[in-house]
């Protein structure tokens, strides 16, 4: 499952940080909650945060946050979708070698609008399920009017690459003598207590999907905890 990197997707700076296998690419895409979609209008690039979901070889972008993107990209211009996970602050003995541990994916290509109702529905389910596994069957499904109002774009993963940094700081050899603490401060996204809608009816507890997700992402988890998003807290 390896893409050969194209000239455009090959990581040029720090090439050892590049990865082109779909297993790595898919895992990063699937863990990231937000994507940044780039497109140009009249030579001005725009970068818009948007929700995304991957199904097999396609990454879908939710258009509700990016109607300018939808209009532009439906005409078939080139796009770039980038996701980035922050894993830690890299604290070196010199200011210069401070860095960040991260995992990112860049996808290049055209984006096609999704209009077929069955594809729309399956993608909407994927959006919900990848954010909150199990939620889809708990809530009211989309009706015809909502499906009609939904705008989705699709990009395939033919031209994608990952770039990541992990591990401890890399200092200049002579700086290892310095009496300065160095290492990594791991960072990751965690969940707080579910906050009920003020209009929630009496006696309705968090549904199983919400309780499970909160448990998986609980702030009381140790930073080594592995889980949907917790995996991004690494050492």
Which residues 17-76 are close enough to bind a copy of itself by CB under 8 A?
Answer: 33-34, 36-40, 43-49, 51, 64-68
How many chain residues interact with a copy of itself (CB under 8 A)?
A: 107
Judged by CB under 8 A, the chain residues 160 through 189 that form the site for a copy of itself are: 168-169, 175-189
CA distance 7 to 199: 53
CA torsion, points 232, 104, 33, 52, in degrees to nearest 10? -150
CA distance 48 to 177: 45
CA distance 108 to 54: 15
Q: Which residues are CB-neighbours of 197 under 8 A, at least 6 positions away?
A: none
Q: How far is the CB of 151 from a copy of itself (least distance, A)?
A: 10
Q: Is 226 in the site for a copy of itself (CB under 8 A)?
A: no
Sign of the CA dihedral with 66 first, then 72, 74, and 77 last: negative
Pairing of strands 152-156, 112-114: antiparallel
Q: Is 94 in the site for a copy of itself (CB under 8 A)?
A: yes
Q: Is 155 in the site for a copy of itself (CB under 8 A)?
A: no
The residue within the footprint of a copy of itself, chosen from 82, 119, 156, 227 (CB under 8 A), is: 82
Q: How far is the CB of 48 from a copy of itself (least distance, A)?
A: 7
CA distance 46 to 30: 23
Q: Is 5 in the site for a copy of itself (CB under 8 A)?
A: no
Q: How far is the CB of 123 from a copy of itself (least distance, A)?
A: 11
Closer to a copy of itself by Cβ: residue 1 or 158: 158
Q: How far is the CB of 54 from a copy of itself (least distance, A)?
A: 17
């Amino acid at each position: 499952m390896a893409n050969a990197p194209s000239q455009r997707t090959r990581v040029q700076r720090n090439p050892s940080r590049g990865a082109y296998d779909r297993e790595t690419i898919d895992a990063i895409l699937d863990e990231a909650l937000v994507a940044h979609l780039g497109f140009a209008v009249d030579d001005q690039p725009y970068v818009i945060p948007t929700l995304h979901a991957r199904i097999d070889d396609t990454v879908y972008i939710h258009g509700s946050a990016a109607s300018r993107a939808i209009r532009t990209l439906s005409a078939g211009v080139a796009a770039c979708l980038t996701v980035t996970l922050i894993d830690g602050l890299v604290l070196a003995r010199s200011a210069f070698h401070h860095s960040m541990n991260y995992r990112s994916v860049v996808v290049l290509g055209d984006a096609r609008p999704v209009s077929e109702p069955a594809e729309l529905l399956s993608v909407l389910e994927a959006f919900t399920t990848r954010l909150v596994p199990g939620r889809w069957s708990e809530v009211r499904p989309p009706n015809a009017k909502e499906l009609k109002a939904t705008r989705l774009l699709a990009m395939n993963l033919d031209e994608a690459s990952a770039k990541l940094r992990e591990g401890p700081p890399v200092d200049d050899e002579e700086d290892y003598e310095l009496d300065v603490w160095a290492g990594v401060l791991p960072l990751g996204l965690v969940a707080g207590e579910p906050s009920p809608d003020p209009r929630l009816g009496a006696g309705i507890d968090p549904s199983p999907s919400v309780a499970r997700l909160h448990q998986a992402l609980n702030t009381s988890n140790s930073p080594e905890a592995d889980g949907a998003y917790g995996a991004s807290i690494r050492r």
